[in-house]
Amino acid sequence: MDRKDFDRLLTAGDFPPVLLFEGEEEYLKQTALSALRKRLLPEGMEDLNETLLDAPDTDRLIAAAETLPFLADRRLVVVRDHPALVGRAEADDTLTEYLTALPPATVLLFYCTKKPDGRKKIYTTIKKLGGIVTFSPLRDRELTAFVTEAFRKLGKECDERTADFLIFTCGTDAGLLLSEAAKIAAHSGDSPSIDPDSIRELATPSAECTVFQMVDAVVSGQNERAFRLMRNQLLAGTDRMYMLSMLLRQFRLLQHIKIMQYEKRSRDDIRAALGVPPFAADQYVRQAAMYTNGQAKQAVRICFDTEYAVKSGRLNQEGALEAVMLKLLALRSRA
């Protein structure tokens, strides 16, 4: 089930006694855990009716689950990153059998910050019991609404386009977006609304956004800015191969735009096909306009060939990113 399914079950009070939280979106996972605690544990009695376990053995886990709640209807047992789910260990038969016969007064939650192995016996047992809850990143309008609501709670107005700009700048991690929104709101003073200039000035760009800015500098012929952005990202610890893969992704998007434009696709069709916020889609279309179909294809080939050469051992990754940037700048100078 996804988080919305879980929310509905939580509201109804009808959820499996064994749960497993998985997925990339850590903030939403933490929010769901807080909601589960609020639903199960009486105010003021939380510490007496919740047990937190870190990689426990089977006997300790069962002992916690068998403990009766105190002045409450249910006890919550939270197990973080059990080795039988995220490590090489395998759950013993005693544990997997116990999961099917939990006391009615206990809710057992396996909380995974790492990706669990879906092939493990304990995972398949919980899945059969209907307890897998996957927290995926928010997408599209839901993510935009999340950002505008975050600013509203901070006493600031933020329109959808500005929210999309923050998402484009910082990425889709919900917790990070909340942190950035709080920082921007705090620096906005008495201004009742947030504008793109505030985000441009205060938000911390993600590596993906920086690569976009690098490509923007390349297509604009701003050689010095392109290399400055690259150096700053490397100094920040971003991996060269990651940046190279992002450059390849970026130019593939531009090539796809050129193909769709050749096919006479509408702007709305192009936006939908790209799968990025409207603000970003408009920027990609603007970048694509600086290239011919052949040049966009050649830019993709430059990035792909270099990435393949590094991964196959024919080229050292030290200097490979710089070499790609020089080739892309030379290609743009011939545009």
β-pair type (50-54, 75-80): parallel
**Could you tell me where the DSSP H helices lie in the chain?**
3-12, 26-40, 58-66, 83-86, 93-99, 121-128, 140-153, 160-170, 174-187, 196-202, 207-219, 223-235, 240-262, 267-274, 278-288, 293-311, 320-333
Mean pLDDT of the chain: 87
Q: Could you write out the DSSP letters of every residue in 49-72?
A: SEEEEES--HHHHHHHHHSPPSSS
Q: What is the pLDDT of residues 33-43, one digit of tens each?
A: 999 999 888 88
Q: What's the residue count for the chain?
A: 335
The residues pairing with 111 across neighbouring beta strands, listed in sequence order, are: 21, 80
Residue 223 pLDDT more than 90?
no
Supply 276's token pair. Answer: 């990025």
Supply 66's token pair. Answer: 């068998």
CATH class of the region 140-202: mainly alpha
Q: Answer yes or no: CATH 1.40.20.10 is held by domain 3-134.
A: no
Q: What is the pLDDT of residues 43-54, one digit of tens each?
A: 888 889 999 998
CATH ID of 207-333, from 3.10.20.30, 1.20.272.10, 1.10.3720.10, 1.25.40.80: 1.20.272.10
C-alpha to C-alpha distance for 21 and 28, rounded to whole angstroms: 10
Q: What pLDDT score does 131 carry? A: 92
Higher pLDDT, 333 or 64: 64
So where are the chain's domains? Answer: 3-134, 140-202, 207-333
Cβ pair 71, 45 in contact under 8 A: yes
Name which of 96, 104, 88, 92 is nearest 40 in CA terms.
104
Higher pLDDT, 126 or 12: 126
The residues pairing with 106 across neighbouring beta strands, listed in sequence order, are: 75
Residue 280 pLDDT more than 80?
no
What is the pTM for the complete model shown?
0.75
Cβ pair 115, 26 in contact under 8 A: no
C-alpha to C-alpha distance for 88 and 46, rounded to whole angstroms: 33
The DSSP call for residue 316 is: -
Cβ pair 142, 132 in contact under 8 A: no
Name which of 320, 252, 335 is nearest 289 in CA terms.
335
The DSSP call for residue 157 is: B
Half-sphere CA count of 322, side-chain side, radius 13 A = 8
C-alpha to C-alpha distance for 181 and 194, rounded to whole angstroms: 9
β-pair type (106-111, 132-134): unpaired
Residue 104 pLDDT more than 60?
yes
- What band does 335 get if pLDDT is binned at 50, 70 and 90? low
User: Which residue shows structure tokens 């505030």?
Assistant: 198
